[in-house]
Amino acid sequence: MLPTLTGVGRLTADPELRFTQSSKAVASIALAFNSRRKNPQTGEWEDGDVFFIRGTAWERLAENATETLAKGMEVLVTGEVRTESWEKDGQKYERPALLIRSIAPNLAFAVAKVSKDAASQQNAQGGGQRTGRPQQGQTQRTRPTSPPADDPWAVDQANGYSNEPPF
């Protein structure tokens, strides 16, 4: 069983999205985790050790992370720690890697507007398609500019809030 990492890190670069030959989305996300502490004698914040790791997200998570996240953002991330191995010029290399299961901006330092992605909208309406990529002969659905009229969590645009709970 592989160890699970859950922590607060910072993106060291914008996520890079690419697609496999079978059209699966994959994003490479470079992360840094550090231990910051306040020096009791000086009262100043000091950076401790830094752990750099490359994370990989797949399919809708990859597409959504690439659209949402940017270099420098602090994120909450959970994933499985693995070892990547490769050979180059007859030399073998290894490094830790993170298979990302969930990732989100830290709302202590950012404001996020959450909306369902197009694939989630289609699945909710019985589309059954599992990925955000259109299949042959289908057109890609775009995000709605406003929530559906029957959305119980929708905000009253005129007043900017809702006085009624959605249940």
- pLDDT block averages, 10 residues each, the chain of length 167: 88 94 94 87 87 94 93 94 91 93 89 75 51 41 48 51 50
What is the model's pLDDT at position 151?
A: 53
The CA R_g of the chain, rounded to the nearest whole Å, is 20
Coil/strand/helix, residue 28:
strand
* 139-159 burial code (b ≥16 CB/10 A, e <16): eebeeeeeeeeeeeeeeeeee
Contacts of 156 (CB under 8 A, 6+ apart): 162
Q: Which residue has the tokens 């994003």?
A: 27
What global pTM score does this model have? 0.64
* Domains parsed from the chain with CATH numbers: 4-112 (2.40.50.140), 116-143 (no CATH)
What is the model's pLDDT at position 134?
A: 41
- Asked whether 25 and 57 are in contact (CB, 8 A), the reply is no
- Rounded Cα distance between 119 and 97, Å, is 28
**What is the percentage of the chain residues whose pLDDT exceeds 90?**
49
